[in-house]
Amino acid sequence: MFHRDPQRPVFNGKPLFYLERSMARWVSSLGAIVYMVPEPDGASCPTVADVAQDLDGLVLQGGVDMAPQSYGEEPRKKEWAGDVLRDAYEMSLVRAMTDLDKPVLGVCRGHQVINVVFGGTLHQDILDELPGARVHRDAAIYDSLSHAIVIEPGGSLEKLYPGVTRATVNSVHHQAIKTPGQGVRVDARCEEDGVIEAITVQGPSFVRGVQWHPEFSDKELIRAPDLLDDAPILRQFLEAARDRRGKAA
């Protein structure tokens, strides 16, 4: 969401919803139809429950920081204030989808949103709260920054990538999960500093998150030639959506 801002020249500062083209292309690459879901606005609009009823699955894309107030803290710096309105909307979507046992996949910010929905907390800034941690975001090279992750035994990623214990992913974030929420299992961590890189919410619903950006998958534009193949993550999510739709038919 871009909120009203008279100083922003794009669309004369009007409020905007946006969808990254790379995300739309990635999700549709295996046959899904992608919709951007604007926030309901007004009593006559469809509710969040209506939206959840209509969707087969929900992907939460990256973007602005989560507001610390969303997990019971105050921002320690003004630039970490985040977007409490977007938080509230996306958290309500996650709850509505899981109430209907429909799958949810969170990417970067979306991964963090899932954790907060289930009672977890975040590091407002990795380097500020974890001295000695590696740099996880470099604006100058953006998605060319990468690092190794270690896949946790017994987790969802281990089952998705049999025999793979270590992989390379891109890194475009300065916040991260601090305390996992209730029922949130850690599936992968950064090899160098232990930052949580993938999660699964244990229970009947498919609810998973990854801290990296699988949609930034054009290998020609990314310097690391050995990035994890992210197609299995998308395929598993879409299979869960199709299975849920089949059961409801």
Nearest to 211 by CA among 160, 238, 176, 165: 176
Query: How many other CB atoms are there within 10 angstroms of residue 140's CB atom?
Result: 6
Tens digit of pLDDT at every position of the chain (249 positions): 888 888 889 889 998 898 989 999 999 999 999 999 988 887 778 899 999 999 999 999 999 999 999 999 999 999 999 999 999 999 999 999 999 999 999 999 999 999 999 999 999 999 999 999 999 999 888 888 999 999 999 999 999 999 999 999 999 999 999 999 999 999 999 999 999 999 999 999 999 999 999 998 765 555 556 889 999 999 999 999 999 888 877
Q: Which residues of 230-241 are buried (b: 16+ CB within 10 A; e: fewer)?
A: beebbebbbebb
List the domain boundaries for the chain: 10-248
**Residue at token pair 């606005």:** 41
Superfamily grouping for domain 10-248: Class I glutamine amidotransferase (GATase) domain (3.40.50.880)
What does the pLDDT read at residue 202? 95
What does the pLDDT read at residue 101? 96
Per DSSP, 5 falls in state: -
Active site residues: 108, 213, 215
What does the pLDDT read at residue 247? 82
pTM above 0.85, yes or no: yes
Q: Are 156 and 97 in contact (CB under 8 A)?
A: no
- Where do runs of H (alpha helix) occur along 118-227? 126-129, 156-160
174 Rama sector, left if φ>0, alpha if ψ -120 to 50, beta otherwise: alpha
